[in-house]
Amino acid sequence: MEKERLFGKTLDELKAVAAQVGLPKFAAKQMADWLYKKDIRSIDEMTNLSVKGREALKEYYEFGLTEPTKVQASIDGTKKYLFPTDHAKFIETAMIPDDDRKTVCVSSQVGCKMGCLFCMTGKQGFQGHLTAGEIVNQIRSIEENGEVSNIVYMGMGEPFDNLDNVLKSIEILTDDWGYAMSPKRITVSTIGIIPGMKKFLETSNAHLAVSLHSPFDEERKQLMPIQTAYPVQKVLDEIKSWEFGRQRRVSFEYIMFGGLNDTPAHAKELARILNGIKCRINLIRFHPIPDTPLKSSNEETLQSFKDLLNSKGILTTIRASRGQDIYAACGLLSTKALVKKEEEPDY
Ligand SMILES: C[S@@+](CC[C@H](N)C(=O)[O-])C[C@H]1O[C@@H](n2cnc3c(N)ncnc32)[C@H](O)[C@@H]1O
Ligand code: SF4
């Protein structure tokens, strides 16, 4: 019988585990401490549980951590970790050091079904959701565990297409019984799946980032098929009904495609549709992927686009491209080659 993993369970779920194996109720909190606050990797090391209790636990459960099988390092210090997931699939995680910060960019799915034209993960197609444990393991099982200052859900996958597991992972990272991290150190990036975004805003205090890429309906539709189901205007209407500011931030990601979405008219329309939202815009250089006519804007255009938005009162920055030499930069994570051929979907 395949054993279930304890790592990735919430306190409530651990209470049910304790009841199932005949451990006292308070053992749930003890298990949470061992899982999320201490540096052990086996049930045998949970020494404040009775020996009998540990044996009962081991009948059905394993601790549940997964080691990375490959680590690559970029010349700029960024690292990329490869983790196996269930059913012979793989995900990638990036760790980006910056002065005194260490930001981990976690994946939420194996591949992605959203089909954005410019994204390597999108090209891979969808192979599966990650569990909460598999998401948190990307922080716990890297060499920098314990030194991570920020977490961004900007790796493989669309977080709000795997909402329950993503929310559960945030609960484990932020609750007192878990990692007890401030939600201000966590940012979730979405293409704007409105129902998921709404639930996220209701249940967590982590920051929100929305991938915008064009203020014009038809153009955005060409780049991001999701625009048909959830037009950006509706996404913004929802965002306007929430309070953002210092406590909780909303930012918009905007990839600059040369000769496509980088004109002054785009900047002016962006400023118009974002009017009234306390936000920041992050301009991203396009990281080229195979077989695409898309190209990145030149540095001059990036600067003038940024200046125009700033002059219109929208705080705009240009995101540094990190880890490009090891394909760890935004949108380049993909494990297509590692997924068994027969499991690949048609696309
Ligand atoms: C890979 S996505 C994951 C999170 C979520 N699915 C989203 O799209 O916001 C993270 C960010 O990378 C951006 N991205 C995707 N492909 C890119 C590429 N080739 N170059 C630069 N950024 C890219 C996305 O637009 C998004 O802002
Ligand atoms: S940009 Fe985000 S939503 Fe679009 S395909 Fe890539 S991972 Fe999926």
Residue whose Cα lies nearest atom 4 of ligand 2: it is 116
Segments in the chain below pLDDT 70: 339-347
Q: Same domain for 57 and 145?
A: no
Q: Same domain for 57 and 108?
A: no
Q: Same domain for 43 and 81?
A: no
Final residue of a structural domain among 46, 62, 78: 62
Q: What is the pLDDT of residue 342?
A: 44
Residue at 269: amino acid letter:
E
The CA–CA distances, whole Å, from 43 to 105, 165, 231, 274 equal 28, 23, 48, 51
Interval between CA 188 and ligand 1 midpoint (Å)? 12
Cβ of 190 less than 6 Å from ligand 1: yes
Cβ of 189 less than 6 Å from ligand 1: yes
Q: What is the pLDDT of residue 242?
A: 94
Q: Same domain for 208 and 303?
A: yes
Count structural domains, the chain. 2
Residue whose Cα lies nearest atom 1 of ligand 1: it is 331
Q: CA-to-CA distance for 232 and 34, rounded, in angstroms?
A: 43
How do beta strands 126-129 and 109-111 pair?
Answer: antiparallel
Residue whose Cα lies nearest atom 5 of ligand 2: it is 122
Q: What is the pLDDT of residue 340?
A: 53
Q: Same domain for 152 and 222?
A: yes
Final residue of a structural domain among 34, 62, 90: 62
Q: Same domain for 37 and 78?
A: no
Residue-number span of the structural domain to which 40 is assigned: 4-62
Q: What is the CATH number of the domain that holds 272?
A: 3.20.20.70
Q: Same domain for 289 and 337?
A: yes
Q: What is the pLDDT of residue 314?
A: 96
Q: What is the pLDDT of residue 156?
A: 96
CB 253 within 8 A of CB 209: yes
Q: What is the pLDDT of residue 339?
A: 66
Cβ of 162 less than 6 Å from ligand 2: no
The CA–CA distances, whole Å, from 141 to 27, 96, 119, 148, 198 equal 24, 15, 26, 12, 31
Interval between CA 334 and ligand 1 midpoint (Å)? 12
Final residue of a structural domain among 62, 83, 108: 62
Complex ipTM tops 0.95? yes
Q: What is the pLDDT of residue 344?
A: 47
Q: Which tokens sit at 290?
A: 């195979």
The closest ligand to the CA of 154 turns out to be: 1
The response to whether 105 counts as a known ligand-binding position is no
- The pTM assigned to this predicted structure is 0.96
Which helix (H) or strand (E) segment holds residue 265: the answer is helix 264-273
Q: Same domain for 22 and 136?
A: no
279 among known catalytic residues: no
